[in-house]
Structures are given as C-alpha cells and as structure tokens.
Structure 1
Amino acid sequence: MSITTTHLTRAAGLSAVAAGLLFLGVQVNHPQLDAEFVTTTEWSVRQAVKIVMSVLSLAGITGMYLRQVKQSGVPGLLGYGIFAVGYLLMMSVEVMGLVVLPAVARSSTGYVNDVLAAAMGGHPQGDIGLMQPLTLIAGFTYMVGGLVFGIAVFRANVLARWAAAVLAAGTISSILIPVLPQINERLFAVPTGVALIGLGYSLWRGRLIAAAGSVPQVAGAPFDPAGNR
C-alpha cells in the first residue's frame, strides 16, 4: 500500500479518536493517588495507557494542524506548538510515573506522595526538586496550548467547530482543579476526551469524503454529477 497524505491524515484522525477514548477510559473508577497505589499492577497499566494516549494525542493534533495549516495561520502554529510541548511533557511525566515512582514508593513514600500531589495541581509538603517546575510547565502548556489551538481550529472552520470549542474550554478549565477540591478532578478530563474524539472523527471523515470525491474524469469531457456528459 502506498503512503499518501490522505492515508496519513485519516490515521491522525483515528489516533485522535483513540486518544480521546483512552483519556476517558482511564478516568473510570480511578483510585485515589498515593504511594501504596503506585506499587500496584493497576497503576502500571493505567500509566502505560496514559503514555499511549499522549503519543496518539500528539499524532492527532499534528494531523489536525497540517489539515488546516493555511486557514489557522499564526494562531494555529502557536497553539499547536504549545499544545504539542504540553503533550510531550505530559508523556515524560507519565513515563517517570511508570518506571521511577514504583521503584522508590516504599523507600521514599513522602517523596512519591508529594510528586503525585504536584501532578494533580496540589502543593507538595517536601522538596521534589525539578519535578515541581516540570509538572507546572506541563500543566501550563497543556491548558494554554489547548485553549489557543482550540480557538484557532474554531476560527479555521475546517474541522468540527463544536469540538474545537469544547477543546478550548475543556483544557483551560483544568485550572480550576486546585480551587474546586469538592469536585472530582477526573471530570475535568471529560471535555478534552470528547473534543479529541469529535475532532478526530471530523478529520477522518473529511479526508474520507475528499478521497471518495476524487472521481477520474474523461479527458476533454465536462463532468456532470448526474452522470450525463
């Protein structure tokens, strides 16, 4: 099979859909984060899923940006760049959560609990070194990048605008997690997951329609949609 831009764009759309489904799925019945949970198999499985989700999300938003690079202009490039950095940093945090935290969970319980608190937007009690600014930058680029990218996608009017609006609102709403402790923080992931599914489907469907509409014409003869020449 030859690799074409249509195939790559459709693959990016499916990647975004899969990322959204994983982002929603990993939130279901998520236990409270603490050092004890970090030592379990469930933690490892959930972390692995989050890593895959980050990779698929990055592929998905890359396809979205390339699909509307002319229409989105500078805001699209800026939003995509910041959002992509956010997902790259998120992936790095999840990788460390998978391979580092379980190894020190029992010997450095306080440190692990502080890292988990920082990752959820809380305030660690002790010193966690550069993990603190890393989680802050990851959260900032995810929220701001999602907001700017969502607005750019909405303005470009190439993909589903409702999903772009949900993406912008959903990502920036994460800033409310520390100030609304009475609300399950997992609920803030729902809009972003839904937005990724909507945008990914829109990207996949758009390229599918474009491919189906590429009907070869007879040289020198005008094409009549009704089938008459």
Structure 2
Amino acid sequence: MTITSSDLTKAAGAAAAIAGAVFIAVQIGHPAGDAFTTDTADWVARSCAKIVMAALALAGITGMYLRQYRRSGLLGLAGYLLFAAGYLAMFSVEVIAATVLPRLVDTEPGFVDDVVTAAAGGTPNGDIGALQTLFDVAGAGYLLGGLVFGIALFRTRVLARWAAALLAVSTVGTAALAVLPESFNRPFAVPAGIALIGLGVSLWRGSRSTTPDADVSAARPEQPAVR
C-alpha cells in the first residue's frame, strides 16, 4: 500500500475536524472548575477526551501548515510553532488531570483544587510549583499561536478564509475570560471548535494536490531547458 501526500493531507484534515467536534462536545454539561474532587470520574472522562482532541489538533494544524508553508512564510512558521506548543502543553495538562490529580483527591484535595483553578486561569491559594509555568505556556501558546496562525492561514487563501478568521478571533478572544465569570468558559470554546472543523474540512477537500503548495508550483511558468 502506497501512502501519498494527498492521503496524509486528508488524514490531517479529518484529524482537525474531529478535534474540533470533540472540543465542542466536551464543553456540553462540563462540571464547574471547583468540582474536580466531587465529580472526579466526569472530569477524568472529559480530560481523556481532551487528550485525544489535543493530539488530533496537533496533527491537523501540522497538515495545515505543510499545505501552505511556502505562502505563509515566517508568519506561518511562528504561528504554527506557537500554536503547536500551546496544544502540546494542553495535552500535558490533560494527561496530568486524567492520571495524577485523581490519585491526590483524597489526600491533597486543596492542592487539586488549586491546580484546577490555575488551569482555568484563576489564582490558586497555594503553591503549585512548575505546573503554573505549564499552564502559562498552554494559555499563551493557544491564544497567541491561534491568532498568528489564523492570520497566516487567512492571508494565504489556501484554506477556508472564514474558518481562519474565526480561529484567530476565537483564540485571542479567550483573553477576555480573565475578567468574565467562569460560566463563559465553555461557550467561548465553541467558535474555536467550529473553526477547526471548517479548516479540517477545507484541508480535506483541497487535498487533491499531491504536494504541499502544489498550486503555487503549478502557477509558475515552465522554464526552458538549458542547453
């Protein structure tokens, strides 16, 4: 079986679309941030889903970048690296939430609450060590990376521009959560999920090209052979 670049692009598009759908689905009925110690099983199940989401999103945005890296230039590279770092940190956060925190619920409930509070952008009462740095990387990478990557995708005109614009606006818009009630956390995630779905479908539908940025190469006039 031969795997072509078109197959990989389709897989990346599917991964992004599924990631967006999962991102939206886990927000439905999500327990409050201070309920980890009482709704542990629900939190763990959703954290496992977010682990899958983050991994699929990483694959998806990698395919998006490779599809138009020549056109996006340094802006696209910077946006991709920032956004990928944010999703990688998010993946790490959810692994901790699914595997480490449940073991501390009975012995260190205060620490668990502090970690969950910090992960949501709040101020913990106690010291959570280097975890705060991980949360900062996840937040900054998601916010700034989504903004820059969305702008780069919008400028290249390779994928759906409405979805690229929505990605940029929805990710940077999460900065407003710092001054908004916690009830806004879940609705704010929905536009980003829709953007990932739109970009994923656009990447899938545009996968007929067999090489990244094939449309750019095809547009160049053929040069006569040098004799």
Structure 1-normalised TM-score?
A: 0.88
Q: Supply the distance in 2 between the matched residues of 1:172 and 1:60 (Cα, whole angstroms).
A: 19
Structure 2-normalised TM-score?
A: 0.89
Aligned counterpart, 2:223: none
The answer on 1:15 being equivalent to 2:15 is yes
Aligned counterpart, 1:76: 76
Aligned counterpart, 1:177: 177
Question: Structure 2: which 5+ residue stretches go unaligned?
Answer: 211-227
Q: Closer, same or farther in 2 for the Cα pair 1:13/1:182, shift >3 Å?
A: closer
Deviation string, structure 1 residues 58-89 (Cα, Å, up to 9, x no partner): 00000000000111111000000110011000
Aligned counterpart, 2:110: 110
Question: Structure 1: which 5+ residue stretches go unaligned?
Answer: 212-229
* Structure 1 range deviating more: 58-67 or 178-187: 178-187
The answer on 1:35 being equivalent to 2:12 is no
Q: Is the 8 A contact 1:35 1:109 kept in 2?
A: no
Q: Is the 8 A contact 2:147 2:172 kept in 1?
A: yes
Counterparts in 2 of 1:206-217, with a 5 A limit?
206-208=206-208, 210=209
1:182 Cα deviation after fit = 6.3
1:38 Cα deviation after fit = 5.3
Aligned counterpart, 2:52: 52
Aligned residues: 209
Q: Closer, same or farther in 2 for the Cα pair 1:183/1:9, shift >3 Å?
A: same
Identity of matched residues, % = 54
Q: Is the 8 A contact 1:38 1:102 kept in 2?
A: no
Q: Supply the distance in 1 between the matched residues of 2:192 and 2:91 (Cα, whole angstroms).
A: 16
1:44 Cα deviation after fit = 1.9
1:184 Cα deviation after fit = 2.2
Q: Supply the distance in 2 between the matched residues of 1:32 and 1:182 (Cα, whole angstroms).
A: 8
Q: Closer, same or farther in 2 for the Cα pair 1:13/1:27, shift >3 Å?
A: same
Residue 126 of structure 1 aligns with an amino acid whose one-letter code is: G
Counterparts in 2 of 1:21-170, with a 5 A limit?
21-33=21-33, 34-37=35-38, 39-40=40-41, 42-170=42-170
Q: Supply the distance in 1 between the matched residues of 2:61 and 2:38 (Cα, whole angstroms).
A: 32
> Which structure is larger by alpha-carbon Rg, 1 or 2?
1
Deviation string, structure 1 residues 185-210 (Cα, Å, up to 9, x no partner): 101101110000000000000114x4
